[in-house]
Structure 1
């Protein structure tokens, strides 16, 4: 992926890693459109960050995805990059039947939201001479955190789905990239003050450097996430699983 001169649409992007990446991409000379459910927040972000554009979108609602597609591609016919950033992360007690509601909502947003968005935008993207789809999984896709079981499962599914998407789009103009964050200090699961999580600005800097240095990369893996991502490959899954769930 050429790191500059793109028109990028991002699901989510109103806070944390999403907003940080949106601003970093903007600063590299890209046109960036972020999305979210709250119009007041989108208007505030557009006012605070010159050049950042916004579109209302609820990825849990297929009709909202369709409306966002029409709005974005009509206003920006040069769109060539999709980033599926929107997601939620919640704790679940699997001994409590009530966790099913949380599980279903997590699947609807993290997995179905990703699949539906990609399915909607891909026919348009393959008409562009240089395009990319960037999915967002997690280090927890390969080594789960027990208190967030459905989040881990959806990110494992996004990882697998991304691999299949890459193979099916291999003969098209669309590059498929998987962004794999470790725990990062954001409000996701209240990790903004978590000393075990990677500082947000450090993550953004390292991830953007990799995107610029490795334009043909299939995965963007900062050093911090390799502890999780490579655990099974390096024969240390059990030890890593115990370490991740030790607190």
Structure 2
């Protein structure tokens, strides 16, 4: 991806990885528009980054996506980069009853949200001389964590969708990249001092370096071992990973 001279829309741009990417691209002189549900947070980020714009967006709501995409196309005709970043990560237990509302919210946000957002903008992106779609999945797409089974499943599904999307766009001006973060120290679950969480600034720096290449998948070095899990041994690997996490759980709450 060319990191300059872009008009970029980033969903979930008010905190964490979304805000980190927005600010990194903004510093390079790109026109950046962030999307999010809470206007107060959108205003806070744009005040801190003069020249950055914001659009209210509920990625789980098809009508909100339709309104936001129409405004983007009308107000930013040079829009050529879509970063599907918005996501939620609630805990669940696949060995017990799953809360229906939580499961649907996770699927609508993490999987159907990016699919709908891309669908609304892809015709416009194809008209640009160069364009990019960046889908933010997770290293848990390859090694699911059992305490967040629905989240992991949505990220695996988005990875699969990305593979198909990349193939179908192969003869267009639109390139598709995937970023698959490890555990990054953001407020996706909670922000704390656990040393296993990768510092956000380090993650953003390494991810920007990866996005600057032609790599189809951008995986930081810390997560490479987990990404390389594939093939007939994945069940053993996943079980060992989850046993480790069960013995060393992620704290809930600050």
The residue number in structure 1 matching 2:215 is: 217
Looking at structure 1, the residues matched to 100 and 191 of structure 2 have their Cα atoms a distance apart, in angstroms, of 24
Question: Which residue number corresponds to residue 4 of structure 2?
Answer: 4
Shift, 1:99, TM fit: 2.5
The aligned counterpart of 2:195 is: 195
* d(CA) in 2 for partners of 1:176, 1:220: 11
- Return the alpha-carbon distance in structure 2 between the equivalents of residues 240 and 224 of structure 1: 17
Aligned to 2:207: 207
Query: For residues 160 and 166 of structure 2, what CA distance do their matches in structure 1 show?
Result: 10
Q: Distance in 1 between matches of 2:192 and 2:36?
A: 20
Is the Cα contact below 8 Å between 2:94 and 2:146 reproduced in 1?
A: no
Shift of 1:145: 0.6
- Cα deviation for residue 95 of structure 1 reads 4.0
User: For the structure 1 residues 236 and 59, does the alpha-carbon distance in structure 2 shift closer, same or farther, using more than 3 Å as the test?
Assistant: closer
Point out the more displaced range, 28-37 or 91-100: 91-100
Which shows bigger deviation, 44-53 or 159-168?
44-53
Cα displacement (A) at 1:226: 1.1
Say whether the 8 Å CA contact 1:181–1:222 is kept in structure 2.
yes
Residue equivalent to 1:90: 90
Task: Tell me which residue corresponds to 1:172.
Answer: 172
1:59 aligns with 2:59: yes
Q: Which digits, 9 at most, give the CA deviation of each residue in 1:174-230, with x for residues without a partner?
A: 000001111101111125322211111111111112222x1x211111111112110
Q: Given the superposition, is the C-alpha separation of residues 96 and 234 from structure 1 closer, same or farther in structure 2, using an over 3 Å criterion?
A: closer
Q: How far did 1:47 drift?
A: 1.1
Structure 1 portions without partners, runs of 5+: none
Q: Which runs of 4+ in 1 moved over 6 A?
A: none
Q: CA RMSD in A?
A: 1.6
Match of 1:154 in 2: 154
Say whether 1:42 aligns with 2:56: no
1:111 matches 2:111: yes
How far 1:232 moved relative to its partner? 2.0
Q: Do the aligned residues in 1 keep the contact of 2:185 with 2:200 (CA within 8 Å)?
A: yes
**Structure 2 unaligned spans of 5+:** 249-254
Measure, in 1, the Cα distance between the counterparts of 2:227 and 2:181: 10
Calculate the TM-score normalised by the size of structure 2. 0.92
